[in-house]
Structure 1
Amino acid sequence: MRFHFRQFLRAIMLASFSLFFIRLHVTEEITKYVNPKYTVMSQIAAGIFVLLLFIQIFRIWEPDGHPHCHAGCGHDHHSNVGAGKRISFFIILFPLLVGFAFPPAVLDASLAENKGTVLPQPRESQQQDSLPAIEHQKVLPNDNYLSQGEYNKRMEQLKKQNVIEMKEEVFAPYYEEIENHPKSYRGKKIKVSGFVYKEAGLSPHQLVISRFLITHCLADASVIGILTEFEKASQYQPDTWMEIEGTLQITTYNGVEVPVIKADKWKVIPQPSQPYIYPVLIKIL
């Protein structure tokens, strides 16, 4: 039997990728990288890596006397690995090293600041129909799908609630509705949780209770949030997770009418195990 070192290296890399994907799914950390509705695709990818690994294992050893390429086959079995192959090897190895060495980090207020402001700027029109971050999205978390009728029913419930609870499964559609029609919800009680975000121009008694909306993966993450006011707001630092209860009112920020929560109850809470919110598709029946 003859041992093929290059085939062995390829098997090691396939095994590493398989282990990496399997670990992400077992620990459920995959949702910190992609929208959960794509986890099936990731599971398929993991299965393909495992299949390729089994195939590759049989290429590591070659029986003696096995007919092999001899003179004239077009390549030299004793030649060293070229520079190009070395580079491609390290390109493939790098994401594995990063993935195993560093746990997935949750997006925070510093990244939100780099992505731009949450609240409207002076150049934005008061007549804008939808916030760019959630334009044309009808959303619930994870891999849930709703029919158009189910979605409409959820939105009707929003209008009838005495206390609007911004739970993860309805956060984004409720948020968009309130942002687009703040006068319809003025005076209603609201309960919301998220991380503290502060941007230039806010008063000491103001902060934004925010969440990251993930459409496909972390690369397209956008931050959405509701302006909140209470006397002790200045005491809470960015990235602090808080639960806020209060009343929806309307204020003017940079010449644009926006909803604002006049908080009467607030408390610091632990960061939830699933800090993001996700869009899903409306079922076409």
Structure 2
Amino acid sequence: MTATRMRRLRAALLLAFAALIAKLFVTGEVGKYMAPTLNPLTAATGVVLAGMGAVELLRRTDHRAGHAPEPAPDHTTDEALTYLLVIVPLALGLLVTPRTLGASALGGDHIVPLLLTFPAGPAPASSVSPPPDSRIEDVAQLVASLRRGDPTRGRRVYARGMVMRSDSLAAQEFALLRYSITHCAADARPVGLLVIASGDPGLPSGQWVEVEGVVSSQEREGSALVSINADRVVAIEEPADAYL
């Protein structure tokens, strides 16, 4: 391959990767790969790649006067394999719609060890009902309240997540599953809540739902599970902010 063709190919790959990053931002799919805190860095990476591609495309191959370019050694096979390793994931990123991790990523039927638990010890006594405006909004706020040690039992909660069924749970019970990521989907960690509905909701594993109810505690296998006594379970589409 001539130097000019190599230069054009490198420019095309750099610009294609920049286009992939732009596509993820435009379609809102970047959140399926990266944590929102990394969006500025990801966008800057796309800008740098676009600049490098433009420079590579506009750069001319200059030779010193009176000197012919030396013939490049024949590494056609090695070059083809190298570019193939780059082009295949790039093409998949441009052509395939990404999906978030689902309930099937965990595998197995025994999911109780994956569910959130209250700290060991007696539940804090409280004779005062939580104020009406103390509703917990979604799983992230509930997890944050538990980490701070805030009282959560008896509070109204609204949460979204995926249904995860298991033979170890009753028919009216399921785990509400979300994944928490620090940097990207590769470091995703499951966060599960036990949901107790008034009856069998008849929803398959992997279905996204919206749950509203009251935070409670259920004893299972010697642990006090963070549970939701649900009075409303509604199937929904996968939200844009699927990860915590």
Tell me the TM-score normalized by structure 2: 0.80
Counterpart position of 1:7: 7
After TM superposition, which residue ranges in structure 1, 4 or more long, deviate above 6 angstroms?
none
**Corresponding residue for 1:162?**
132
Per the alignment, residue 94 of structure 1 pairs with 88
Distance in 2, matches of 1:15 and 1:83, equals 24
Please point out which of 107, 110, 120 is paired with 1:113.
107
Amino acid at match of 1:237: P
Who is 2:124 aligned against?
Answer: none
Deviation at 1:221? Answer: 1.0
Contact 2:201 2:233 in 1 (8 A): no
| 2:208 partner amino acid | W
Q: Distance in 2 between matches of 1:205 and 1:163?
A: 28
- Residues 54, 247 of structure 1: alpha-carbon distance in 2 compared, 3 angstrom cutoff: closer
Among 236, 239, 257, the alignment partner of 2:203 is 236
- Percentage identity across paired residues of the two chains: 22
Residue type matched to 1:10 in 2? Answer: R
Alpha-carbon shift at residue 210 of structure 1 (Å): 2.1
Aligned residue in 2 for 1:58 = 58
1:268: how far off?
2.0
- Identify if the C-alpha distance between structure 1 residues 173 and 69 changes in structure 2 by more than 3 Å, giving closer, same or farther: farther
With over 3 angstroms needed to count, the CA separation of the structure-2 counterparts of 1:18 and 1:58, relative to structure 1, is: same
Which residue number corresponds to residue 125 of structure 2? Answer: none
Deviation at 1:166, TM superposition (A): 4.0
Query: Is residue 35 from structure 1 mapped to residue 35 from structure 2 by the alignment?
Result: yes
User: Which one-letter code corresponds to 2:137 in the other structure?
Assistant: K
**Coordinate RMSD, CA, aligned:** 3.3
Q: CA–CA distance in 1 between the matches of 2:48 and 2:164?
A: 41
Cα deviation for residue 105 of structure 1 reads 0.8
Residues 219 and 3 (structure 1 numbering): CA distance in 2 closer, same or farther, change over 3 Å? Answer: closer
In structure 2, C-alpha distance between the alignment counterparts of 1:34 and 1:69, rounded to whole Å? 52
Residues in 1 aligned to 2:190 and 2:30: alpha-carbon distance in whole angstroms:
20
> Per the alignment, do residues 164 and 269 of structure 1 end up closer, same or farther by CA in structure 2, a change over 3 Å counting?
farther
Q: Cα offset for 1:200?
A: 4.1
- After superposition, residues 1-285 of structure 1 pair within 5 angstroms as 4-59=4-59, 61-62=60-61, 66-67=63-64, 70=67, 76-77=71-72, 79-113=73-107, 119-120=112-113, 127=120, 161-162=131-132, 164-167=134-137, 171-178=139-146, 184-233=151-200, 235-277=202-244
User: Counterpart of 1:272 in 2: which secondary structure?
Assistant: coil
Structure 1 residues 256-285: Cα deviation after superposition (integer angstroms, max 9, x where no partner) = 1112222222222222232222xxxxxxxx
Distance across 2 between alignment mates of 1:86 and 1:98: 18
- CA distance in 2 between counterparts of 1:191 and 1:69 reads 76
| Whole-angstrom CA distance in 2 between matches of 1:24 and 1:110 | 24
Shift of the 206–82 alpha-carbon distance from structure 1 to 2, 3 Å rule, reads: same
SS in structure 2 at match of 1:227: strand
| Partner Cα separation in structure 1 for residue 66 and residue 224 of structure 2 | 75
Q: Note closer, same or farther for the CA distance 1:176–1:225 as it changes in structure 2 (3 Å cut).
A: farther
Partner of 2:126: none
CA distance in 2 between partners of 1:26 and 1:173 (Å)? 28
Name the residue aligned to 1:142: none
- Compute the TM-score of the two structures, normalised by the length of structure 1: 0.70
The residue number in structure 2 matching 1:138 is none
